[in-house]
Amino acid sequence: MDPRVVLWLWMLLSSTCSGIKLEGNGHTDILVAISSAVPQDNRIIDKIKVLKADNKDALGDEIIFLTDGEATDNINDCAPTAIQSGAIIHTLALGPSAAKELQEMADKTDGKFIIATDDITSNLLVDAFASLTIPTGDYTKEPVQLESTGERTADWFNGTVSVDSTVGNKTSFLIIYELIAPTAYIQTPSGSNYSKADMSGDPSAKTLTLKIPGTAESGDWKYSILSGRLQSMTITVTSQAARSDVPPIIVKTHVNQQLISGSKPVIVFAEVSQNYRPVINAEVKATLEPEKGTMKQLELLDNGAGADAFKNDGIYSRYFTKLEKGRISLKVRVKNKDGQSRFTLHRKSGALYVPGYVVDDKVELNPPKPPVPEQPLVEGNFSRTATGESFQVTITNAPIYPPNKITDLNAEIQKNMVLLIWTAPGEDLDQGPAKSYEIRWSDDIEMLRLNFSNSSLVNTSAVSPKEAGSVERHSFNMTIENGTTLFFALRSEDNDDAISEISNIAQASKILPAPNPPGISNPGLNLTVIIISVCVAVIVVCLIVAVTAWAVKRRKRVDA
Give ∠ CA 404-406-408 in degrees, rounded to 5. 145
C-alpha 405 chain-centroid distance = 19
- Quick one: what percent of the chain has pLDDT higher than 70? 74
User: Which has more confidence, 32 or 46?
Assistant: 46
Query: What gap in Å lies between CA 363 and CA 486, rounded to an integer?
Result: 11
534 Cβ contact list (under 8 Å, min separation 6): none
Domain 1-134, CATH 1.10.260 — does that match?
A: no
Mean pLDDT throughout 127-145? 76
* Count helices and strands in the chain by DSSP H and E runs: 6, 34
For residue 305, is pLDDT > 60? yes
E strand residue ranges, 178-230: 183-187, 193-195, 200-202, 207-211, 219-226
Give me the mean pLDDT over the 529-545 stretch: 76
Query: Which CA distances in Å does 438 have to 393, 489, 492?
Result: 34, 9, 6
Lowest mean pLDDT among 6-20, 330-344, 461-475: 6-20
In this predicted structure, the answer to whether residue 359 has a pLDDT above a threshold of 80 is no
The stretch 484-498 carries a mean pLDDT of: 92
Mean pLDDT of the chain: 79
Separation of alpha carbons 101 and 14, rounded Å: 18
Which pLDDT score is estimated for 299?
Answer: 93
Whether the CB-CB separation of 510 and 482 falls below 8 Å is answered with yes
β pairing state of 362-365 and 410-414: unpaired
Q: Is the pLDDT of residue 378 over 70?
A: no
Asked whether residue 47 carries a pLDDT value surpassing 90, the answer given is no
3-class SS of residue 450: helix
332-355 pLDDT, tens digit per residue, is 999 987 777 777 765 555 555 566
Domain ranges of the chain: 1-134, 143-244, 251-348+372-393, 410-509
Residue 75 banded pLDDT, cuts 50, 70, 90: low
410-509 fold: Immunoglobulin-like (2.60.40)
Can you give the pLDDT at residue 435? 93
Closest CA to 243 of 136, 139, 337: 139
Answer whether residue 526 shows pLDDT above 90: no
Q: How confident is the model at residue 293 (pLDDT cuts 50, 70, 90)?
A: confident
Sequence-ordered list of residues with C-beta below 8 angstroms from that of 73, at least 6 positions apart, any chain: 12, 36, 41, 42, 67
Average pLDDT rounded to a whole number, residues 290-300: 86
pLDDT on residue 99 = 62
Q: What is the mean pLDDT of residues 219-238?
A: 93
143-244 CATH fold: Jelly Rolls (2.60.120)
More confident residue, 125 or 245: 245
Q: Helix, strand, coil shares of the chain as percentages rounded to 5?
A: 15, 40, 45
Among the listed residues 156, 159, 162, 118, the one whose alpha carbon sits nearest the alpha carbon of residue 144: 162
Check pLDDT > 50 for residue 395: yes
Kindly write down the DSSP assignment for every residue of 405-427, as one continuous string.
Answer: PP---EEEEETTEEEEEEE---S
Average pLDDT, integer, range 242-258: 90
Mean pLDDT over 490-510 rounds to 91
Stated pTM of the model: 0.74
CA dist list (Å): 431 to 31, 306, 307: 45, 9, 11
pLDDT in tens, 81-94: 667 777 788 887 77
| pLDDT the model gives residue 42 | 43
- Return the DSSP state at 431: B
Question: pLDDT tier at 10 (50, 70, 90 boundaries)?
Answer: very low
The number of CA neighbours under 13 Å toward the Cβ of 409 is 26
Same fold, 251-348+372-393 and 410-509: yes
Rounded to the nearest 10°, the torsion over CA 490, 491, 494, 496 is: -140
Domain 251-348+372-393 CATH (choose: 1.10.8, 2.60.40, 1.10.10, 2.40.160): 2.60.40
